[in-house]
């Protein structure tokens, strides 16, 4: 029995939904990474591989597989990605009810990404997914500080300190 399922989302296209409750801090699942995207192994659009199905851990670009490629963005997410060793895990940020869509804020652990309009529908929706942790409001940066990956903190320690975050 799977703890998640993919189905139509009110946020965007398909989404990932909990088939059972998860408690805050609980691992939901190990994220299915298909491969690293490199110049010698680029995305293959003819096979349906897309940039919005990628994650960017520690300077790499990795292609996410099913069902994890369907985790949608929310400005008030109920989950986040934990990077541990060479693996990544979807973690419950707060309690998640069975049937609830599992969402992450795409602005965590990233800088220099692209921005696009947000349609998450959260009460605190910012209207734009900015693609850069440092472009988030300072109160949101403070809230997300415990969710930052060690490699992100290491790479951006000076910027975090300048903001009083590290």
CATH of the domain at 127: 2.170.270.10
Task: Note the pLDDT of residue 15.
Answer: 96
Please state the pTM of the whole predicted model: 0.92
Task: Note the pLDDT of residue 68.
Answer: 95
How many structural domains comprise the chain? 1
Give the percent of the chain with pLDDT over 90: 84
Q: Residues 62-89: what's their mean pLDDT?
A: 95
| Residue 17 belongs to domain spanning | 4-162
Q: Per mean pLDDT, which range of 49-53, 79-83, 98-102, 148-152 is the poorest? A: 49-53
Give the angle 15-129-145 at the CA atoms, nearest 5°: 95
> Of 129, 126, 124, 125, which Cα lies nearest the Cα of 113?
129
> Residue 1 pLDDT more than 60?
no
Angstrom distances, CA of residue 23 to CA of 13, 96, 98, 107, 161: 26, 6, 11, 23, 32
Task: Note the pLDDT of residue 46.
Answer: 92
CA distance 68 to 6: 9
Give the angle 127-128-129 at the CA atoms, nearest 5°: 135
């Amino acid at each position: 029995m799977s703890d998640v399922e993919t189905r139509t989302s009110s946020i965007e296209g398909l989404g990932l939904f909990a088939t059972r409750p998860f408690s805050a801090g609980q691992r939901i699942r190990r994220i299915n990474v298909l491969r690293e995207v490199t110049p010698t192994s680029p995305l293959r659009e003819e096979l349906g591989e897309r940039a919005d199905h990628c994650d960017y851990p520690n300077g790499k670009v990795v292609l996410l597989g099913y069902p994890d490629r369907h985790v949608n963005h929310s400005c008030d997410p109920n989950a986040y990605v934990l990077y541990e060793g060479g693996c990544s895990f979807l973690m419950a940020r707060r309690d998640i009810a069975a049937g609830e869509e599992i969402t992450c804020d795409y602005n965590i652990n990233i800088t220099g990404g692209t921005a696009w309009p947000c349609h998450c529908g959260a009460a605190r929706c910012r209207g734009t997914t900015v693609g850069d942790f440092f472009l988030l409001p300072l109160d949101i940066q403070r809230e997300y500080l415990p969710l930052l990956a060690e490699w992100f903190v290491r790479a951006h320690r000076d910027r975090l300190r300048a903001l009083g975050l590290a």
